[in-house]
Amino acid sequence: MARNKGGLILTKLIIPQWADLRSSVTLHCQFNTGGDSLYSVKWYKDDHEFFRYTPGLNPQTLVFGMDGVNVDESKSSATEVTLFPLTRTSNGNYKCEVSTDAPNFPTVVEDANMTVIAYPEDGPRIEGLRQIYSIGEFLEANCTAKMTFPVAEVSWFINDIEVSTNNKK
């Protein structure tokens, strides 16, 4: 996926398609300036800048506050940005923009979407079941899968046969 502008090449953008809500995520933007001086690397979420690396300035990094984007500056640099903690609003389109220095400031850009999900911490909890039922007896039970995003889909099975949807409530 090489994107280039003159000597500047964006060689690889790594943005996970899926990110776990309970983990950090590192976005990678690898590039080759082709011998030109790096001017800046900017990161955007949904077209709003949230991180800038400019080697010619002090400090070199600048973070812009944005809902759902929490930058761990100690783990972020010219080629990567680490986000932690993630939230449900961390979903979106992430873009890396790399520019080399004057006089032309050539710029390359690449983007990808990331969706935040929350895997269940534990297996589902089933309540209301007895050990033995008679044939034809009504069965009522509750299955709860805690802390999932998006909401977990639950399927019921009796003797390894899935219960049809018209028999479920």
pLDDT in tens, 82-141: 999 999 999 999 999 999 998 788 999 999 999 999 888 888 889 998 988 888 888 888
Q: What is the pLDDT of residue 1?
A: 52
Q: What is the number of residues in the chain?
A: 169
Closest CA to 91 of 3, 143, 21: 21
Q: What is the pLDDT of residue 2?
A: 55
Is the pLDDT reported for residue 66 higher than 90?
yes
User: Taking phi first (over 0 means left), then psi (-120 to 50 degrees means alpha), and beta for anything else, what does residue 112 get?
Assistant: beta
pLDDT in tens, 7-39: 899 999 999 999 999 999 999 999 999 989 999
Is the pLDDT reported for residue 62 higher than 70?
yes
Map out the domains of the chain with their CATH numbers.
3-117 (2.60.40.10), 118-169 (no CATH)
Average the pLDDT over 138-152 and give the result: 84
Cβ–Cβ under 8 Å, residues 97 and 44: yes
Q: What is the pLDDT of residue 154?
A: 85
Reported pTM: 0.80
Average pLDDT, the chain: 90
How many whole angstroms separate alpha carbon 127 and alpha carbon 165? 20
Q: What is the pLDDT of residue 21?
A: 92
How many whole angstroms separate alpha carbon 38 and alpha carbon 106? 10
Q: What is the pLDDT of residue 159?
A: 85
67 Cβ neighbours under 8 A, 6+ residues apart: 87, 89
Q: What is the pLDDT of residue 103?
A: 79
11 Cβ neighbours under 8 A, 6+ residues apart: 1, 2, 30, 31, 32
